[in-house]
């Protein structure tokens, strides 16, 4: 079924972007793929992003030229691999404006980073009767570890309140974050609502009470310029696969003094300084938290992802996503019977739009769109408590990135109108 675009001059729409989309799209070979004879329209970037050739080639280069284990080898390949691996750590430091490279810990992803903090700092510092403050919009990865910790330590989970548009009620937050609060764990950008939370203000509230703050940066770090020093967070966790890099690589940043006081998370490999029969001495930061053989090739390839985004400029990435989100919100509102969740103002949200269409289950909608070559996400998005608050079983979700075009938004709208017809609901303008 042919999907016609709505506007006659897509080049005018593309001019709204601060990025050279045509040039960028040439860097992503997967975007040239067809699905069932239809052009691929990839709108599932909140789940994972596509990878540019520079990242793919860097990974291939590692395995073809200097594949070796890192840190302890004295042969040339090991020295080269170590230099590249540790060079990525410095690249990350600059990217997030951390003070020292020893604050950068490589993990398998955001989930592992959060679990590391909950299992080390949490067990060391959270006592019976203490409070762990979360938001209702947290991904399960930033909820379940704290549930487990609260049960183990006889602590209490306290949830911030949201406004009608899905923003944190800061007046209520000032009252909820109190003397018993030990940690505030909150996403910087919701993977459902798109809401961008005021981390600096939340950090100030936490620190005023002697608490710390952990930031889930999985959805924010790939899309907007951040400074961990300026936001005054204590921990920030994020994943590389959501920002053009490989899967299986994440970063946990933490303030040096806090990290030094934490016990190791896992044992063996590079986190060891020396071992006797009776006891062991652990390595210095950051290697104290990097047990076993690391994901060397993917960490090295991740440097190319950071460099790619840095060359584009995160301010330009953010500007593009604001404009394409603004355009998409306006187009989606043309459809009668559509429910859109999250802030109305695109400046207050990321490039994530969750929605439902009347009388169409989001899974059915996702399948119909897939048949048209359009990839979105459908379900609860690992945010079941939030779905309950929204009084829905799940949503459809379109999420944008640097290679998405305004024409693709038009194709999404055309496919949604076709879905409306297929499902027998023709109430659209």
Report DSSP letters for 114-164, one per residue.
HHHHIIIIIHHH--TT-EEEE-TT--GGGTHHHHHHHHHHT-EEEE--B-T
Q: Is 224 helix (H, G, I), strand (E, B) or coil?
A: coil
**What span, in angstroms and rounded, lies between the C-alpha atoms of 100 and 285?**
10
| Structural contact between residues 55 and 29, judged by C-beta atoms closer than 8 angstroms | no
Work out the widest C-alpha separation in the chain, in whole angstroms: 76
φ/ψ bin of 244: left (φ > 0), alpha (ψ from -120 to 50), beta (otherwise): left
**To 10 degrees, the CA torsion angle through 65, 70, 73, 76?**
20
Q: What are phi and psi of 237, to 5 degrees?
A: -120, 140
Identify the burial level of 261 via C-beta atoms within 10 angstroms of its C-beta, where 0-12 means exposed, 13-18 middle and 19 or more buried: exposed
Q: What are phi and psi of 176, to 5 degrees?
A: -75, -35
**What span, in angstroms and rounded, lies between the C-alpha atoms of 217 and 25?**
25
Q: Nearest-5° angle of CA 190, CA 48, CA 409?
A: 75
**What span, in angstroms and rounded, lies between the C-alpha atoms of 225 and 254?**
18
Token pair for 220: 């924010």
The catalytic residue positions are: 382
**What span, in angstroms and rounded, lies between the C-alpha atoms of 259 and 104?**
10
Token pair for 24: 């960028």
Token pair for 335: 């459809």
Q: b or e along 105-135 (b: 16 or more beta carbons within 10 Å of the residue's beta carbon)?
A: bbbbbbbbbbbbbbbbbbeebbeeebbbbbb
CB atoms within 10 A of CB 298: 22
- HSE, CB side, 13 Å, CA atoms: give it for residue 408: 25
Which of 112, 110, 66 minimizes the C-alpha distance to 85? 66
């Amino acid at each position: 079924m042919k999907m016609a675009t709505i506007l006659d001059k897509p080049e005018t729409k593309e001019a709204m972007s601060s990025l050279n989309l045509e040039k960028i799209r040439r860097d992503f070979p997967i975007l040239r793929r067809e699905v069932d004879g239809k052009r691929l329209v990839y709108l599932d970037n909140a789940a994972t992003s596509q990878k540019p050739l520079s990242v793919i080639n860097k990974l291939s280069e590692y395995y073809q030229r200097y594949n070796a284990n890192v840190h302890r080898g004295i042969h040339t390949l090991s020295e080269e691999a170590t230099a590249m691996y540790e060079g990525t750590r410095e690249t990350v430091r600059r990217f997030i404006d951390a003070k020292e490279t020893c604050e950068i810990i490589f993990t398998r992803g955001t989930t592992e980073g959060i679990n590391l903090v909950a299992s080390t700092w949490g067990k060391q510092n959270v006592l019976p009767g203490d409070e762990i403050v979360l938001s209702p919009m947290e991904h399960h990865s930033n909820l379940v570890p704290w549930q487990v910790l609260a049960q183990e330590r006889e602590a209490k989970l306290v949830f911030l309140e949201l406004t009608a548009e899905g923003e944190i009620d800061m007046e209520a937050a000032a009252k909820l974050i109190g003397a018993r609060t030990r940690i505030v764990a909150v996403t910087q950008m919701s993977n459902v609502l798109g809401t961008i939370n005021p981390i600096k203000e939340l950090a100030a509230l936490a620190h005023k009470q002697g608490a710390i703050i952990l930031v889930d940066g999985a959805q924010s770090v790939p899309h907007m310029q951040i400074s961990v020093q300026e936001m005054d967070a204590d921990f920030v966790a994020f994943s590389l696969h959501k920002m053009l890099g490989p899967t299986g690589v994440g970063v946990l940043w933490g303030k040096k003094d806090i990290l030094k006081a934490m016990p190791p998370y896992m044992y063996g490999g590079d986190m060891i300084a020396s071992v006797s029969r009776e006891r062991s001495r652990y390595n210095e930061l950051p290697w104290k938290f990097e047990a076993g053989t690391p994901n060397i090739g993917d960490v090295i390839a991740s440097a190319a992802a950071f460099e790619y985004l840095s060359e584009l400029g995160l301010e330009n990435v953010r500007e593009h996503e604001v404009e394409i989100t603004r355009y998409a919100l306006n187009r989606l509102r043309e459809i009668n019977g559509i429910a859109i969740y999250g802030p109305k103002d695109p400046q207050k949200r990321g490039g994530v739009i969750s929605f439902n269409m009347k009388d169409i289950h989001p899974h059915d909608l996702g399948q119909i769109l897939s048949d048209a070559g359009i990839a979105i996400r459908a379900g609860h998005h690992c945010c079941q408590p939030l779905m309950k608050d929204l009084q829905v079983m799940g949503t459809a979700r379109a999420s944008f990135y640097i290679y998405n075009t305004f024409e693709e938004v038009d194709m999404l709208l055309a496919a949604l109108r076709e879905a409306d017809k297929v499902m027998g609901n023709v109430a659209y303008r």
